Amino acid sequence: MRTFILVLAISCGNLISAQINLNDYKYIVVPKRFDAFREANQHQTSTLIKYLLSERGFNTVYEDVLPKDLAIDRCLGLWVDLLDDSSMFTTKTTLVLKDCNGLDVFETQQGKSKIKEYKSAYNEAIGEAMQSLDGVAYTYSGGQETKETLTLNFKNDVRSLKNKEIAERMEPKGINTDKVQRKAPKNQNPVVIQEATTENQSYKSLEPVPSNIGSKNESQVSENEEIWYAQEIANGYQLVDNTPKVRMLLFKSSNENMFMAQSDQKSGMVYQKDGQWIFEYYEGENLVQKSLNIKF
């Protein structure tokens, strides 16, 4: 009788200890292929173990599909290892749960089967080993600590502002610092009206056009008095007018201020000289230079 009570007490103690340890971990990770086998999910061992663990309330995932928090902190999970001590006539398996440092946290009893067919034998042996977890009522205990909420009070600071209108807007309800948005004054006129969707593309500039009188060299002829707007593409820019129509493609080179250029009918290079963008290309044997008015 005393021996039975002692064994029962030891078993209960081990069960409570195992439950406490397992509750510290959010996930149990099952490999697609165990070291004991040559093939992934051989004898359907991986899918069986994941199913049996999930059935017992554990948050079980495969090693190649880790949740974001587990991928960042692998110590949130326990990693399953299958020990195969099978002989010619008996299939013997033990499951070990290891932490992120490879230390054993929990080991099941050894499951055995004398079935000759491998799939059925591992099914029976693993199921018997899983009986070690039958009395564990798993509940993840981590991540429940409440973080102290930090409240920012701008009341006194607001009163010191000279602009009373801003103070009146901010003071009654406080400020959610995560969602503060800066708004332009109502009387500020927009300089660009633009729409860029898959259905419509438009770009209209209300910005005053700068005068270029006297700023160009006599040897250079203006390609277009229009402003061409540079829109970034994968390997450079596309220059569009205000219709908008793509007028030229600029491709990056090793020089920051020099691009290989391609328009509908001409190809050459565009570079910056004395603050002015120059399109240089050949017409027959003649080298032509034309200035461009580009807004980046």
Q: What is the DSSP annotation of 58-111?
A: --EEETTS--HHHHH-GGGEEEEEEEE---SS-EEEEEEEE-TTS-EEEEPPPE
Q: How far apart are CA 116 and CA 137, in angstroms?
A: 34
Peptide bond between residue 31 and the one before it cis (omega within 30 degrees of 0):
no
Give 142's pLDDT tier (boundaries 50, 70, 90): confident
Give the pLDDT of residue 245: 87
**Do 16 and 115 have their domain in common?**
yes
More confident residue, 130 or 285: 130
Read off the pLDDT of each residue in 206-228 and give the average, rounded to a whole number: 52
228 and 117 assigned to the same domain: no
Residues 37 and 110 in one domain: yes
115 & 20 share domain: yes
CATH code for the domain in which residue 19 is found: 3.40.50
Select from 111, 133, 155 the last residue of a domain. 133
Q: Are 124 and 200 in a shared domain? A: no
Q: Is residue 139 in a domain? A: no
Q: What is the pLDDT of residue 141?
A: 86
Q: What is the pLDDT of residue 216?
A: 40
* 284 found inside a domain: yes
Top pLDDT among 29 and 275 is at 29
Asked whether residue 39 is domain-assigned, the answer is: yes
- On whether both 199 and 105 belong to a single domain, the answer is no
Establish if 117 belongs to a structural domain: yes
Say if 167 falls within a structural domain.
no
More confidently predicted of 49 and 7:
49
174 pLDDT tier (thresholds 50, 70, 90): very low
Specify the higher pLDDT residue, 97 or 142.
Answer: 97
Dump pLDDT digits (tens) for 227-278: 898 999 988 999 988 887 889 999 998 888 899 999 888 899 999 988 899 9
Kindly indicate the confidence band of residue 190, based on its pLDDT and cuts at 50, 70 and 90. low
| pLDDT for res 137 | 84
Q: Do 225 and 126 have their domain in common? A: no
Which residues form the domain of 280? 193-206+219-295
Give the end of a domain, one of 133, 150, 171. 133
- The residue to which tokens 């391609």 are assigned: 262
Answer with the one of 133, 162, 183 that is the final residue of a domain: 133
Same domain, 115 and 201: no
Q: What is the pLDDT of residue 88?
A: 87
Tokens 């200890």 belong to 17
| Shared domain check, 123 and 41 | yes
Give a yes or no: residue 151 inside a domain. no
Residue 248: which of 287, 281, 275 has the closest Cα?
Answer: 281
Q: Please report the pLDDT score of residue 260 as a whole number.
A: 93
Pair (121, 14) in one structural domain: yes
- In angstroms, the CA 276 to CA 216 distance is 8
Amino acid residing at 198: T
Is 110 inside a domain boundary?
yes
Residues 116 and 24 placed together within one structural domain of the fold:
yes
| pLDDT of 58 | 94
In a domain, 95, yes or no: yes
Q: Looking at the structure, tell me whether residues 113 and 199 fall in a common domain.
A: no
Q: How many domains does the chain have?
A: 2
